[in-house]
Amino acid sequence: MGFNVYSAIGLCWIVLGTIWVAGLAFSKRAVRTQSASGRMIEIGLGGLGGVIIAGYLRLGSWADARFVPHTHSIALIGLALTIAGCFLAVWARVTLGTNWSGQPSVRAGHELIQKGPYALARHPIYTGLLLALVGTLLASGQWRCVVGFFVILLALALKMQFEERLMMQTFPEDYPEYRQRVKALIPGVF
């Protein structure tokens, strides 16, 4: 039995999800958080994007058409990007420690983390997730994954917008300087 790139990609996402769920037990208590309606929109969009990428929502025959050739080399590049993105997301999650939350919130004793991946991007978890998604969609090569990617990108953009406001309110002295010095997602670019 040979190595299956697609199973390895699936395993990356399972490991990432497991780390996320396990991390919930180690977060500080929330003192200020996002509204339930805002959170439901983000979860709904993120879930919809995931369902589209996984192929559980049929969009039509065009969605299963390929935008890149189906080769082992392209699938391996996709796997490498998925692994790199998951690694970055986990590194950022671990760096946040007990400040992390699955939803935008301020935790008791919240600290503005600016080290590790947070010295490179203000939202490195999202950078990692998007990189992993690009790897997954490249390996799949199907248009439905591109659609799912943009739906998830919209969910993360909404979440990031709320987090930015929350951090500006929580750290009015330090966050503006940090925001000016460090780009949101792509170091030195955006």
Rounded Cα gap, residues 37 and 102, in angstroms:
15
12 close to 132: Cβ distance less than 8 angstroms: yes
Per-residue pLDDT reduced to its tens digit, 137-181: 999 999 999 999 999 999 999 999 999 999 999 999 999 999 999
Structure-token pair, residue 148: 């799912």
Count of Cβ atoms closer than 10 Å to residue 128 Cβ = 24
Closest of 28, 54, 38 to residue 106, by C-alpha: 28
> Could you give the maximum distance between any two Cα atoms of the chain, in Å?
58
The bridge status of strand 30-33 relative to strand 105-107 is antiparallel
Count of Cβ atoms closer than 10 Å to residue 160 Cβ = 17
Q: Which amino acid is at 98?
A: T
Taking the chain, what is the end-to-end CA distance rounded to the nearest angstrom? Answer: 43
Closest of 137, 127, 151 to residue 79, by C-alpha: 137
Per-residue pLDDT reduced to its tens digit, 10-27: 999 999 999 999 988 888
CA–chain centroid gap for 35, Å, is 20
Closest of 54, 64, 82, 72 to residue 4, by C-alpha: 72
Q: Which amino acid is at 77?
A: I
Rounded Cα gap, residues 182 and 190, in angstroms:
9
The domains of the chain, with CATH numbers, are 38-181 (1.20.120.1630)
- Its pTM stands at 0.94
pLDDT grade for 41, boundaries at 50, 70 and 90? very high
